[in-house]
A and B are shown apart, each in its own frame.
Chain A
Amino acid sequence: MTGQRKITEITVTWFCWLSGLLLLAALVILVGYLIRRGGPVLGLSLLFGDTPPLDALLLRKHVFDGLYPALAGTLLLVIGAMVLAIPLGIASGIYMAEYAGGRTKAVFSLLFDILAGIPSIVVGLAGLSITIFLHRIFGERIMPCLLISCLALAYLVLPYLIRTTQVALESIDPVIRKTAPALGASRLQNIGHVLLPHSLPAIIGGIILATGRCAEDTAVIMLTGAVASAGIPRSLLDQYEALPFYIYYISAQYTSPDELATGFGAALLLLLLCSALLVLALVLQRRLTIFLLYR
């Protein structure tokens, strides 16, 4: 009896430690490999190629052999998507936490969970179908473009923003929550002057995580207008380059070791970008367990 118990103890302990070690090994190998292959090419010439950085930044010259257009495209995408998603997401989150109750809340909750679970390729497909509808109405001018991608990405990160806001508001200490109403403040005053300022770090943390999600997604943008070579987009209706799409493109189409090295540089750059956003969010907000579930 005790012998068997001892075997169980040892097996379970070993199993758990091995799992942890396996995961750690996978992470170290992956990141180590990327740093080894991508590290040497990191630098200004990775971004700008042979073009003088200042000319490229001021849009005076095109960058043909650097990642600058892709990085700029990703930046524009993220800004566009977040501008669209933040107001809608936070307002919905406030409604979920402060106004909705009972059945309404359960129904909305299910809808938002489904929204969070929809694979990003399906969101991209929806963006594409909107493009097709618009194309039929407005004619040739509407093709997959930056605007459509921003809309689709905004849609993709909406559930994070809703949930972040909702959880941030709901987890406020009841004492703080009840103080202002006890002093005669209305529900709206309570939200605006007490609850929102109090949960601001958590909400900003959620926004940063959503930004990272926008920056990394490939499936949505490959259906809605990202192309391998477009330069800096001149308008919202232009096609654009983006970092994750560039990585995918290089993996399938690279023709020379130089291109491959740039691909590794891009992968490392995207990894650093997303990790930095994640760390920033972690600093701002400790309890973000729930938000990472809705990737």
Chain B
Amino acid sequence: MTPGRESAGIMGDRVVFWEHLFRSAAVICGLLTLAIFCFLCVLGLPLLQDGHLLSLLSSPWAPARGLYGIFPMLLASILLALLSLALGFPVSLGCSLLITALAPRRLRMLLIGMIRLMAGIPTVVYSFAALFLLVPLMRTLIGRGSGLSLLTAAPVLALLIVPTMVIFFVAGFEKVNRAHLLALDALGGSRVQKIIHILLPGARPVLINGTLLGFGRAMGDTMVSLMLAGNSTAVPSSLADSARTLPAHIALVMASDFDSLEFTSIFACGLLLYLVTGLLMLLMRLPGRSPDNES
């Protein structure tokens, strides 16, 4: 009990008033999270209602034939996210180890500054530059098509998620048990031994969670895939193919009629992205995943 709550009269009323105010703000924010979910459900209902859910997830996108399946987009999203993780994870790991264990102090500060700057660069600017730098290069490398493909979008998307992952990893490495590090120093261990025997095993939950976070960001990003992946609605048969991701699909179908099934299907896409986000957040909270557990 706070002293203020016990004292009756005007003071007490004011204290209670502010506490209610703070609580209602939090409740409103929490409800907003759920409200988005409800909005998407209600508006996507016409498609879900007719038992189309499974066919929605497994059939192709062909509005002319009355097929509004989002399977190609789902596949493209997952492929692109995995590909950018495959490119981004090693770089993030190396860079965060460099910052934590290898680089001299001055360079460490410089690298952290650089990473933060990269985290603040607008997505649309990354994509815009890549459109004129990377796309012509990929056109030559692939040898066919416009140069817009999953392979073009993946490195840019990797560049986008690397800062997030590095910041997460570095914060995790800093929480690894100090006593172990000191013990290793006392035994005359090298920096690389510190990395292999203490940092990596100690921060494993953090590495997993950071990767999940990166995956979530890669799945949810709109501008990179919209501007660089080509947006073809066909099922991609190779990584050099043009493909459309779920977020890009939402952005592109926008223009059509509000009441059509075509338009309704983008709410299914939104719902899917929302559920993926929720699932990742729950996965990150599995027992034993807290970075404080390593002591």
Contact = CB atoms under 8 A, between A and B. Distances in A.
Contacts of A19: 90-95, 98
Contacts of A27: 114, 117-118
A184 B92 CA distance: 50
Contact of A20 (B4, B94, B121, B270): B94
Contacts of B195: 12
Given A125-B266, A181-B3, A244-B122, A115 B39 contact: no
B86 interface: no
A292 B119 contact: yes
Nearest to A106: B285
A17 B168 contact: no
Given A186-B2, A188-B19, A95 B26 contact: yes
B125 A188 contact: no
Contacts of A46: none
Q: Is the interface of A mostly helix, strand, loop or mixed?
A: helix
A218 B164 contact: no
Contacts of A288: 116
A244 B102 contact: no
Interface stretch (B30-38, B58-66, B67-75): B30-38
Given A91-B26, A100-B26, A186-B11, A126 B36 contact: yes
Nearest to B217: A295
Nearest to A158: B29
B131 A292 contact: no
A96 interface: yes
Contact of A23 (B23, B95, B127): B95
Contacts of B178: none
B102 A34 contact: no
Given A118-B277, A244-B124, A275 B15 contact: no
11 contacts: A16-B97, A19-B95, A20-B111, A23-B118, A94-B22, A118-B274, A125-B250, A129-B267, A188-B18, A263-B128, A267-B124
